[in-house]
Structures are given as C-alpha cells and as structure tokens.
Amino acid sequence: MTTPADQTQTGGSTPIGEEALRAARVLHPDDNFMPRPSKRRILTVANQKGGVGKTTSTVNLAAGLALHGVKTLVIDLDPQGNASTAVDVDHRSGTPSVYEMLIGEVSVVDAAQVSSQSENLLCVPATIDLAGAEIELVSMQSRESRLKEALSEEVLEQLDVDYVFIDCPPSLGLLTVNALVAAHEVLIPIQCEYYALEGLGQLLSNIELVQKHLNRTLSVSTILLTMYDGRTKLADQVTQEVQNHFGEVVLKTIIPRSVKVSEAPGYGQTVLAFDPGSRGAMSYLDAARELAERGVEGK
C-alpha cells in the first residue's frame, strides 16, 4: 500500500506530488536549461490596450529564461513601475533608472540591478521621474531613438545579456516608439476577451510606420494569448480568431487566467518565484521555452 507521503517521494500521482514535481522543474532546472539564442534578442512587449498582460508576460518570460540559465534584462519603460516591483528591484525616486538612461545621464550598466529571484535576471527600473519623460522627450534631439542609443551593442555586451525585454506603457506615445526603435522584435500579448482585437490595427500600423522610417528590421515575431478562461466560449473564439489571423507568430502555449499570477506582484515576485508549481508558472515556463527555441537558428 502506498501512503500519500510515498507518492510524493516517488513523484506521485497525488495532486500535491505532481505540484511538487512541477515546482522542482522550475526551481532546479539542472540539465533542463533553455537554449541561448543564436544572436542577442531585444523584444518590445507592446499593446496600447491597458491590462492585457504586458508586464506579467515580460517579467515571467524573463524569469523563466533566467532561471534556466539564460541571462535576461528587463527594461521597465512604464512609469507605473510594475515590472520593477515584480522582479523586486529598488525603484524609489532618485534610483538610477530608465529615465536617466533616456536623458543620457547614466549607462544601462549602471542602472541595471540584479533581481533577488535569479542572478541571471537584471532589471533597469522605472521611477516616478519617468512620468514626465513623454513630454520632456518631445523637445529632445533624436527623441525617438534615445533608448536605442542607450542600448548599444557595446554596452549590452558588457552586461553579457542574451535577452532584453522592454515593458511598454499602455499608450502609443514616445516611450513606446523608443521601445519599437530599440528592439529587433515585438511581442504582443493579447487577452482572450471580448474587444481583444480592438486597437490592434492601430498598434500594427504604428509598427509599420516605425519599420518604414526608423527601424527597418523590426518584426512582429511573437503573439502571446493571455488570461485564457476555459469556462467561456468567447475565450476559444478569440483564440481561434487570433490564430487564424496571425498563424505561426502565435505561441502555442496559452496563458490561463490564474489567481496565483495576479497575487505574485503583491509579494514583489514573479509567479515563477511565488508559486513555481502553479499552472500559471508552468504555462509561463512553457511559453519561455517556446520563445527560446524559436531564437535558435535552424529551428
């Protein structure tokens, strides 16, 4: 006869045993490392619609890669500072941040902090000073490409990061334009809900404008469906519609709506650190692996 304790030890058929196994996969990856990309990847996470999972996706994909041996930098480009909170880096006013980077006062090497969650996870925080940047930038020289200049190959080489994720605010203003100019790829999170596709046309046409005038090689490489609620028919319809429309670009992994995902930032953590065995953590880990595998040439 097997007791519940035996089942847990053997990797068990009890829900708790399975959860423990899943958590172990997240926290002790050992030989389960994710592939490093053939070339450094800079991804801008953008969608001007608010609350679709930009920040949650940024920090959890970044944490998934970092925990599996891939050095990753998060740039918090949103004055709300939510990404800085989730990876637990100091973002009080006066801390060297993305604002000082944009005005050319500090280098990314000086502004990047190491997250307590993984030594492979770095973050340039956003402080409240960023709130005025959208307006201040207007009168600055090369106002659209200041972030690109701050993220030159040479300085990123010094940090030795394989991935850079830029978390955008919910607008199409100058901060988002800076992110689109600085990146190689755009990752668009889409919430599996009614009105999900509304406004997407506007985002895509802004991306086209940036491609045409400021960043020829920019591509929409990744779409991630978020907050999927299997109980609603609508979630399936949205999923289907997005997959039909965007095809291969859509990651196969879909992020479910999960309470743990929404609780994690309250503890200054990603869901991968907060509850590594949860469904939310596993799905972000799967999405990170899919993203990493796509970054290897020949795959």
Q: Which of residues 149-178 bind ligand ATP (CB under 6 A)?
A: 170
Question: Helix, strand, or coil here: 12?
Answer: coil
Give the position of tokens 């790829």. 185
Min. distance of Cβ 168 from Mg ion in angstroms? 8
Residue 56: what residue type? T
Q: Indicate which single residue of 47, 48, 55, 107 sits in contact with Mg ion (rule: CB under 5 A).
A: 55
Q: Which residue's structure tokens are 């960043």?
A: 215
162 interface partner picked from Mg ion, ligand ATP, none, CB below 5 to 8 A per type = none
d(CA 236, CA 228): 8
Q: At closest approach, how far in Å is the CB of 158 from ligand ATP?
A: 29
DSSP string computed for 211-250: HHHT-TT-EEEEEEEESB-TT-HHHHHHHHHHHHHHGGGB
Residues 6+ apart with CB under 8 A from 48: 170, 171, 172, 176, 199, 202, 203
**What does DSSP assign to residue 183?**
-
106 lines the binding site for ligand ATP (CB under 6 A)? no
Query: For Mg ion, which residue of 54, 91, 146, 289 counts as binding (CB under 5 A)?
Result: 54
**Least distance from Mg ion to the Cβ atom of residue 78, Å:** 5
> Which of 19, 78, 129, 275 lies at the binding interface for ligand ATP (CB under 6 A)?
78
| 266 interacts with ligand ATP by CB under 6 A | no
Q: Which does 56 bind (CB under 5 to 8 A by kind): ligand ATP, Mg ion, none?
A: ligand ATP
Handedness of CA 118, 38, 218, 293 (dihedral sign): negative
For ligand ATP, the binding residue among 46, 87, 121, 261 (CB under 6 A) is: 261
Stretch that binds ligand ATP, among 8-16, 48-56, 117-125, 172-180 (CB under 6 A): 48-56
Beta-carbon contacts of residue 91 (< 8 Å; ≥ 6 apart): 76, 81, 84, 85, 97, 125, 126, 127
Positions touching ligand ATP (CB under 6 A) are: 50-56, 78, 82, 170, 226-227, 255, 257-258, 261-262, 265, 280
Positions touching Mg ion (CB under 5 A) are: 54-55, 82
